[in-house]
Amino acid sequence: MAFRGVVVTGMTAAVVLMALPAQAAPTCAKVKCIALTFDDGPGTETGALLSLFRKERVKATFFLVGKHVERRPALVKRMAREGHEIGNHSWSHASLPTLFDEQVTQELLTTQEAIASVTGRPPRLFRPPYGHTDDRVLGLAKDAGLAQVLWSGTTLDWKLRDQKKIKAVILKLARRDGVILMHDTVPQTVQVMPEVIEELKKRGYHLVTVSTLLKGRRLAAGESYPAAP
Ligand SMILES: [Zn+2]
């Protein structure tokens, strides 16, 4: 912050300390970073996950389903307040390439509006449900002001439904600057997350949002990141 380095004393010092950010985002060019991403929420388990992240000072990225945003706005507000990144995961979790143009646009824009009405700003990132996407969907996302975020590793946690297996696959997929796909709607994923965080930290990872991972580079609307494996 601008105040850093200014010589201050007494009461002024206290004011300056309060003005400093509680926790600056790490510089991923210098340290080992990884982005944990959670799709399909907010769900019934999301509050517990947010409490864990707050305790562990972890930032994550949530790709939200619009109709769930409408159901659980308080959780969305909390995500934004606590410094997590929020992305668009369509309104109804539709396979977007199967829809007409105007339907794709509606899926994206209604979700943009739902999130903006809660957090005050529309997302800049979207992740296509099931990873189903094509050039047409990407073009329509661009028109909606969205960049596409895929993943470097997918856990298939929704299929595994087993804490030990989910932990093992996350740790196997973990790599520097990786984007790991999980679901906060899978209870076993949320339950095993304390162990996962502990192990990732032990391995030297900083757990950050997708945007922090990009080291200050801003994804343009219509851009896709990272390339699917
Ligand atoms: Zn999904």
pLDDT range class, residue 9, cuts 50, 70, 90: very low
* CB contact set of 162 (below 8 Å; sequence gap of 6+): 188
Gap between the Cα atoms of 179 and 149, Å rounded: 9
From the candidates 68, 89, 183, 206, give the one annotated as an active-site residue: 183
Instruction: Determine phi and psi for 130, rounding to 5 degrees.
Output: 60, 5
| Rounded distance from Cα 62 to ligand 1 centre (Å) | 11
Instruction: Confirm whether 68 is a catalytic residue.
Output: no
| Rounded distance from Cα 22 to ligand 1 centre (Å) | 32
Instruction: Confirm whether 89 is a catalytic residue.
Output: no
| Rounded distance from Cα 195 to ligand 1 centre (Å) | 24
| 87-108 confidence digits (pLDDT tens) | 999 999 999 999 999 999 999 9
Q: What is the pLDDT of residue 216?
A: 75
State CA 37 to chain mean position distance. 5
Residue 157 CB neighbours (<10 A): 28
For the cut 60, the answer to whether the pLDDT of residue 19 exceeds it is no
Q: What is the pLDDT of residue 26?
A: 82
Q: What is the pLDDT of residue 24?
A: 73
